[in-house]
Amino acid sequence: MSYTLILGDYAYSSWSLRGWLLFAKFGIKTKSVFLDFASNTSVADQLATYAPAKTVPTVVMPDGAIVSESLAIVEELASRHPDAGLWPSAPSDRATARSMTTEMHSGFAALRGDCPMNLRIAFTDTSPSEAVLADVARLETLWAHAHATRQEEGPWLFGTYSAADAFFAPVAARLAGYDLPMSDLAKAYVATHLADRSFRQWRAMGLVQGETLTRYAKPFDVVDWPGPSPLEAHAVSGTDAENDRCPYSGKAVTDVLEFKGRRFGFCNPICRDKTVADPEAWPAFMALVNA
């Protein structure tokens, strides 16, 4: 089966992150198409080829059906891939996960409006409003309920990663990126998201692709990103490298980075730069380093 996943900007499109995680975390292969958030053309107009869609993420299903609401996407994927494990296996956990995901999809307007997702930067001393704090308190209530009632232990809401975690991933980025007050349970859950390999890959791509959009700027003090500190690497000139093929595509080396005094090559600047942004997020690169 072949899917086409239409997405927005890596750094700013929270719904796109959710949609991408539904494929990346559950091993469902797809081809991604990205819209330009810096364009003067609206997202709806950029999606004209995929009518009647008007928002991202949008998925073109293998049979040509176009699905452009996140809840519809996850349910359709769960129907078409029943063994992928998008929802928890225990009926009570599955019911709770669906309820929480639906609330996430339709609620938390203050948190969304005051703290738009921005994976390029983190703030401190953000003076959250009472409405934002109420949204955070509601999140903590939901997460605590999941932990108290779930049938399986583990770092995610229902033990093993589920679609509910994909829906709450951008919320975790907001809580961390805007330095919002959290309980210890919430801090641990947010830290689990920030350390997750797929989340780190998405953020790494957001650091090197697309433009910095001033409409997401906020008048707060800037601090280092609160997630794991990436290992140091930097782009270098030339094509001399230990490897002659890109670890991702297998194509010939054209662009090179330096990592721990060694040179490794890639087939294009994006492959190189996303690796520079967070080397440990990319298993194929680390396998090359450790070979």
Distance CA 167, CA 100 (A): 9
Nearest to 80 by CA among 2, 175, 166, 15: 2
**Going from the N-terminus, what domains does the chain have, and what CATH number goes with each?**
4-80 (3.40.30.10), 91-201 (1.20.1050.10), 234-290 (no CATH)
Q: What is the pLDDT of residue 244?
A: 96
Would you say 165 and 157 are in contact if contact means Cβ atoms under 8 Å apart?
A: yes
Structure tokens at 102: 């639906």
Distance CA 77, CA 80 (A): 5
Distance CA 25, CA 199 (A): 10
Q: What is the pLDDT of residue 270?
A: 96
Phi, psi of 257 (to 5 degrees): -125, 160
Would you say 3 and 30 are in contact if contact means Cβ atoms under 8 Å apart?
A: yes
Q: Could you read off the pLDDT tens digit of each residue along the chain, which spans 291 residues?
A: 699 999 999 999 999 999 999 999 999 999 999 999 999 999 999 999 999 999 999 999 999 999 999 999 999 999 999 999 999 999 999 999 999 999 999 999 999 999 999 999 999 999 999 999 999 999 999 999 999 999 999 999 999 999 999 999 999 999 999 999 999 999 999 999 999 999 999 999 999 999 999 999 999 999 999 999 999 999 999 999 999 999 999 999 999 999 999 999 999 999 999 999 999 999 999 999 999
Structure tokens at 11: 């750094």
Q: Residue 143's CB: how many other CB atoms inside 10 A?
A: 22
Distance CA 243, CA 246 (A): 7
Distance CA 97, CA 100 (A): 5
Would you say 115 and 174 are in contact if contact means Cβ atoms under 8 Å apart?
A: yes
